[in-house]
Amino acid sequence: MQIRPGIELANLSDVGRAREVNEDYFGYVEPDDDESYAQKGRLVIIADGMGGYEGGQLASRLAVETVRETYLAAPSADPAATLLDSFQIAHHKIRQFAREHAEVEQMGTTCTAAVLVGSQLYFANIGDSRLYLLRGMELKQLTQDDSYVNKMVLSGMLSREEAETHPSRNVLTAALGSNTENATPSASKSPEPLVPGDTLLLCTDGLHGLVSAQEMLDLVNGHTASEACQELVSLANAHGGPDNITVQIVRYLGDGLRQTRVTG
Protein backbone atom coordinates (compact mmCIF):
# COMPACT_ATOMS: atom_id res chain seq x y z
CA MET A 1 0.00 0.00 0.00
CA GLN A 2 1.44 3.35 -1.01
CA ILE A 3 1.24 6.46 1.13
CA ARG A 4 1.85 9.68 -0.76
CA PRO A 5 3.79 12.61 0.70
CA GLY A 6 1.97 15.11 2.87
CA ILE A 7 1.10 13.26 6.08
CA GLU A 8 2.57 11.46 9.04
CA LEU A 9 0.52 8.37 9.90
CA ALA A 10 0.58 5.98 12.84
CA ASN A 11 -1.90 3.52 14.32
CA LEU A 12 -2.07 1.10 17.21
CA SER A 13 -4.66 -1.34 18.53
CA ASP A 14 -4.41 -3.11 21.88
CA VAL A 15 -6.63 -5.72 23.53
CA GLY A 16 -6.47 -3.91 26.89
CA ARG A 17 -6.17 -5.51 30.30
CA ALA A 18 -9.58 -7.14 30.73
CA ARG A 19 -10.63 -8.52 27.34
CA GLU A 20 -9.39 -11.74 25.76
CA VAL A 21 -10.17 -10.74 22.18
CA ASN A 22 -9.71 -7.47 20.30
CA GLU A 23 -13.02 -6.51 18.67
CA ASP A 24 -11.67 -3.22 17.26
CA TYR A 25 -10.47 -2.87 13.67
CA PHE A 26 -8.91 -0.07 11.65
CA GLY A 27 -7.70 0.74 8.16
CA TYR A 28 -6.03 3.29 5.92
CA VAL A 29 -6.14 3.46 2.13
CA GLU A 30 -5.65 5.79 -0.79
CA PRO A 31 -6.29 5.07 -4.49
CA ASP A 32 -3.41 3.73 -6.56
CA ASP A 33 -3.91 5.99 -9.58
CA ASP A 34 -3.32 9.72 -9.35
CA GLU A 35 -6.62 10.74 -10.96
CA SER A 36 -8.70 8.82 -8.42
CA TYR A 37 -6.47 10.04 -5.62
CA ALA A 38 -7.07 13.66 -6.64
CA GLN A 39 -10.83 13.07 -6.27
CA LYS A 40 -10.98 10.69 -3.33
CA GLY A 41 -7.86 11.45 -1.30
CA ARG A 42 -6.96 9.41 1.78
CA LEU A 43 -9.41 7.33 3.86
CA VAL A 44 -8.77 6.64 7.55
CA ILE A 45 -11.26 4.46 9.42
CA ILE A 46 -11.81 2.74 12.78
CA ALA A 47 -14.56 0.50 14.16
CA ASP A 48 -15.42 -0.98 17.57
CA GLY A 49 -17.38 -4.21 17.30
CA MET A 50 -19.95 -5.63 19.69
CA GLY A 51 -22.06 -8.75 20.02
CA GLY A 52 -19.75 -11.31 21.57
CA TYR A 53 -16.16 -12.21 20.78
CA GLU A 54 -16.66 -13.58 17.27
CA GLY A 55 -19.55 -11.26 16.41
CA GLY A 56 -17.72 -8.10 17.40
CA GLN A 57 -14.60 -9.05 15.49
CA LEU A 58 -16.58 -9.90 12.39
CA ALA A 59 -18.71 -6.76 12.50
CA SER A 60 -15.83 -4.32 12.87
CA ARG A 61 -13.75 -5.99 10.19
CA LEU A 62 -16.70 -6.20 7.80
CA ALA A 63 -17.47 -2.51 8.38
CA VAL A 64 -13.93 -1.31 7.72
CA GLU A 65 -13.40 -3.50 4.67
CA THR A 66 -16.80 -2.69 3.16
CA VAL A 67 -16.48 1.06 3.66
CA ARG A 68 -12.96 0.97 2.24
CA GLU A 69 -13.91 -1.04 -0.84
CA THR A 70 -17.13 0.85 -1.50
CA TYR A 71 -15.51 4.25 -1.09
CA LEU A 72 -12.71 3.42 -3.52
CA ALA A 73 -15.08 1.95 -6.11
CA ALA A 74 -17.75 4.66 -6.00
CA PRO A 75 -18.03 6.91 -9.09
CA SER A 76 -19.02 9.97 -7.05
CA ALA A 77 -16.48 12.70 -6.35
CA ASP A 78 -18.47 13.85 -3.29
CA PRO A 79 -16.55 12.36 -0.30
CA ALA A 80 -19.22 13.00 2.34
CA ALA A 81 -22.05 11.49 0.26
CA THR A 82 -19.88 8.53 -0.68
CA LEU A 83 -19.03 7.88 2.95
CA LEU A 84 -22.72 7.84 3.88
CA ASP A 85 -23.47 5.42 1.04
CA SER A 86 -20.56 3.23 2.14
CA PHE A 87 -21.86 3.12 5.70
CA GLN A 88 -25.31 2.04 4.48
CA ILE A 89 -23.84 -0.77 2.40
CA ALA A 90 -21.76 -1.93 5.37
CA HIS A 91 -24.86 -1.82 7.58
CA HIS A 92 -26.81 -4.07 5.22
CA LYS A 93 -23.91 -6.49 4.82
CA ILE A 94 -23.56 -6.87 8.58
CA ARG A 95 -27.31 -7.39 9.00
CA GLN A 96 -27.37 -9.94 6.20
CA PHE A 97 -24.46 -11.88 7.69
CA ALA A 98 -26.14 -11.85 11.12
CA ARG A 99 -29.39 -13.19 9.64
CA GLU A 100 -27.50 -16.06 8.02
CA HIS A 101 -25.46 -16.93 11.14
CA ALA A 102 -27.57 -17.21 14.28
CA GLU A 103 -24.51 -17.45 16.52
CA VAL A 104 -23.66 -13.80 15.77
CA GLU A 105 -27.16 -12.38 15.35
CA GLN A 106 -26.42 -9.57 17.85
CA MET A 107 -23.29 -8.35 16.05
CA GLY A 108 -22.84 -4.66 15.34
CA THR A 109 -20.17 -1.99 15.33
CA THR A 110 -19.38 1.66 15.62
CA CYS A 111 -17.62 3.23 12.65
CA THR A 112 -15.79 6.52 12.19
CA ALA A 113 -14.13 7.50 8.92
CA ALA A 114 -12.18 10.55 7.84
CA VAL A 115 -11.26 11.51 4.28
CA LEU A 116 -8.49 13.96 3.50
CA VAL A 117 -8.62 15.39 -0.04
CA GLY A 118 -5.74 17.81 -0.33
CA SER A 119 -6.20 20.09 2.67
CA GLN A 120 -9.96 19.42 2.96
CA LEU A 121 -11.29 17.09 5.65
CA TYR A 122 -14.58 15.18 5.37
CA PHE A 123 -15.87 12.69 7.93
CA ALA A 124 -18.75 10.42 8.93
CA ASN A 125 -19.53 8.40 12.04
CA ILE A 126 -22.03 6.20 13.80
CA GLY A 127 -21.72 5.04 17.41
CA ASP A 128 -19.21 6.46 19.85
CA SER A 129 -15.81 6.09 18.20
CA ARG A 130 -14.49 9.61 17.79
CA LEU A 131 -12.59 11.95 15.52
CA TYR A 132 -10.66 14.83 17.06
CA LEU A 133 -8.81 17.72 15.44
CA LEU A 134 -5.77 19.02 17.27
CA ARG A 135 -4.60 22.48 16.19
CA GLY A 136 -1.98 24.22 18.28
CA MET A 137 -3.11 23.94 21.90
CA GLU A 138 -6.75 23.17 21.14
CA LEU A 139 -8.29 19.71 20.83
CA LYS A 140 -11.74 19.75 19.20
CA GLN A 141 -14.08 16.77 19.00
CA LEU A 142 -15.52 16.79 15.48
CA THR A 143 -17.94 13.86 15.81
CA GLN A 144 -20.96 13.49 18.08
CA ASP A 145 -21.45 10.26 20.02
CA ASP A 146 -24.59 8.26 19.22
CA SER A 147 -25.14 7.41 22.86
CA TYR A 148 -27.83 7.67 25.49
CA VAL A 149 -25.84 10.04 27.70
CA ASN A 150 -24.88 12.33 24.83
CA LYS A 151 -28.55 12.79 24.02
CA MET A 152 -29.04 13.77 27.67
CA VAL A 153 -26.16 16.24 27.41
CA LEU A 154 -27.55 17.81 24.23
CA SER A 155 -30.98 18.16 25.85
CA GLY A 156 -29.46 19.82 28.93
CA MET A 157 -30.26 16.96 31.31
CA LEU A 158 -26.60 16.20 32.01
CA SER A 159 -23.37 18.17 32.00
CA ARG A 160 -20.32 16.95 30.05
CA GLU A 161 -18.62 16.21 33.35
CA GLU A 162 -21.59 14.15 34.64
CA ALA A 163 -21.75 12.24 31.36
CA GLU A 164 -18.13 11.04 31.74
CA THR A 165 -19.05 8.91 34.77
CA HIS A 166 -22.71 8.13 34.05
CA PRO A 167 -23.46 4.37 34.37
CA SER A 168 -25.15 4.34 30.93
CA ARG A 169 -22.37 6.19 29.10
CA ASN A 170 -21.61 3.13 26.92
CA VAL A 171 -25.21 2.56 25.80
CA LEU A 172 -25.38 3.33 22.07
CA THR A 173 -28.39 4.67 20.22
CA ALA A 174 -27.06 3.80 16.74
CA ALA A 175 -24.58 1.38 15.19
CA LEU A 176 -23.91 -0.46 11.96
CA GLY A 177 -25.77 -3.76 12.02
CA SER A 178 -28.37 -2.55 14.51
CA ASN A 179 -31.94 -3.82 14.23
CA THR A 180 -33.11 -1.04 11.92
CA GLU A 181 -33.68 -1.09 8.17
CA ASN A 182 -31.21 1.72 7.55
CA ALA A 183 -28.24 3.03 9.46
CA THR A 184 -28.25 6.63 10.70
CA PRO A 185 -24.68 7.88 10.37
CA SER A 186 -23.78 11.56 10.56
CA ALA A 187 -21.47 13.27 8.10
CA SER A 188 -19.74 16.62 7.81
CA LYS A 189 -21.99 19.11 6.03
CA SER A 190 -19.02 20.97 4.55
CA PRO A 191 -15.29 20.24 4.39
CA GLU A 192 -13.08 21.29 7.28
CA PRO A 193 -10.00 23.11 5.94
CA LEU A 194 -6.71 21.94 7.44
CA VAL A 195 -3.44 23.80 7.84
CA PRO A 196 0.02 22.23 8.05
CA GLY A 197 0.62 20.89 11.55
CA ASP A 198 -3.03 19.95 12.16
CA THR A 199 -3.40 16.48 13.68
CA LEU A 200 -6.37 14.12 13.34
CA LEU A 201 -6.94 11.58 16.09
CA LEU A 202 -9.43 8.75 15.60
CA CYS A 203 -10.08 6.48 18.58
CA THR A 204 -12.47 3.97 20.10
CA ASP A 205 -14.04 4.44 23.54
CA GLY A 206 -11.36 2.25 25.07
CA LEU A 207 -9.18 5.32 24.72
CA HIS A 208 -11.44 8.35 25.05
CA GLY A 209 -13.37 6.77 27.91
CA LEU A 210 -10.21 6.65 30.03
CA VAL A 211 -7.91 9.37 28.71
CA SER A 212 -8.99 12.99 29.10
CA ALA A 213 -8.90 15.59 26.36
CA GLN A 214 -6.08 17.38 28.18
CA GLU A 215 -4.07 14.17 28.42
CA MET A 216 -4.59 13.56 24.70
CA LEU A 217 -3.42 17.08 23.95
CA ASP A 218 -0.33 16.71 26.11
CA LEU A 219 0.66 13.35 24.64
CA VAL A 220 0.12 14.23 20.98
CA ASN A 221 1.79 17.65 21.01
CA GLY A 222 5.56 17.43 20.81
CA HIS A 223 5.59 13.72 19.93
CA THR A 224 5.76 11.85 16.67
CA ALA A 225 2.53 10.16 15.62
CA SER A 226 3.98 6.77 16.51
CA GLU A 227 5.17 7.93 19.94
CA ALA A 228 1.77 9.50 20.63
CA CYS A 229 -0.07 6.26 19.79
CA GLN A 230 2.18 4.29 22.13
CA GLU A 231 1.81 6.82 24.95
CA LEU A 232 -1.97 7.07 24.62
CA VAL A 233 -2.49 3.30 24.65
CA SER A 234 -0.10 2.91 27.59
CA LEU A 235 -2.01 5.56 29.55
CA ALA A 236 -5.39 3.92 28.84
CA ASN A 237 -3.97 0.63 30.12
CA ALA A 238 -2.49 2.38 33.15
CA HIS A 239 -6.00 3.65 33.90
CA GLY A 240 -7.27 0.07 33.96
CA GLY A 241 -7.65 -0.88 30.28
CA PRO A 242 -11.12 -2.47 30.67
CA ASP A 243 -11.79 -2.37 26.92
CA ASN A 244 -9.96 -2.72 23.62
CA ILE A 245 -8.00 0.42 22.71
CA THR A 246 -7.50 1.64 19.15
CA VAL A 247 -6.06 4.91 17.89
CA GLN A 248 -5.03 6.32 14.52
CA ILE A 249 -3.15 9.60 14.19
CA VAL A 250 -2.75 11.56 10.96
CA ARG A 251 -0.62 14.69 11.05
CA TYR A 252 -1.16 16.91 8.02
CA LEU A 253 2.17 18.24 6.78
CA GLY A 254 0.94 20.10 3.72
CA ASP A 255 0.80 19.22 0.04
CA GLY A 256 4.15 18.32 -1.44
CA LEU A 257 5.95 18.00 1.89
CA ARG A 258 7.87 14.90 2.77
CA GLN A 259 5.75 12.20 4.36
CA THR A 260 6.79 10.01 7.25
CA ARG A 261 4.94 6.83 8.12
CA VAL A 262 5.52 5.08 11.40
CA THR A 263 3.09 2.38 12.44
CA GLY A 264 3.01 1.32 16.05
Burial of residue 180 (CB within 10 Å: 0-12, 13-18, 19+) is exposed
The whole-number pLDDT of residue 156 equals 77
Q: Where does the pLDDT of residue 168 fall: very low under 50, low under 70, confident under 90, or very high at 90 and above?
A: low
Residue 1 lies in a domain: no
Percent of the chain at pLDDT > 70 equals 94
Is the residue at 156 inside a domain?
yes
Mean pLDDT of the 91-109 span: 95
Range of the domain at 67: 7-261
Q: Select the highest-mean-pLDDT range: 103-107, 191-195, 252-256.
A: 191-195
Most confident of 43-52, 167-176, 250-259: 43-52
Specify if 224 maps to a domain: yes
155 or 122: whose pLDDT is higher? 122
pLDDT in tens, 182-211: 999 999 989 999 999 999 999 999 999 999
158 or 26, greater pLDDT = 26
The answer as to whether 120 is a domain residue is yes
Flag the least confident range among 13-22, 61-70, 164-173, 230-239: 164-173
Cut 0.85: pTM above it:
yes
Residue 207 lies in a domain: yes
What's 116's domain CATH number?
3.60.40.10
Residue 79 has pLDDT above 50, yes or no: yes
Report the half-sphere exposure of 23 (CA within 13 A, side-chain side): 23
Distance, in Å, from the CA atom of 174 to the CA atom of 50, rounded to the nearest integer, reads: 12
Average pLDDT for 97-115? 95
CA–CA distance, 51 with 175 (Å, rounded to integer): 12
Q: What confidence score (pLDDT) does residue 241 get?
A: 97
Confidence of residue 157 (pLDDT cuts 50, 70, 90): confident
In a domain, 43, yes or no: yes
In the prediction, which pLDDT does 54 show? 84
2: in domain: no
Burial label for 11, CB within 10 Å (0-12, 13-18, 19+), is: buried
What total of structural domains would you count in the chain? 1
Is residue 4 a contact partner of residue 82, using CB atoms and an 8 Å limit? Answer: no
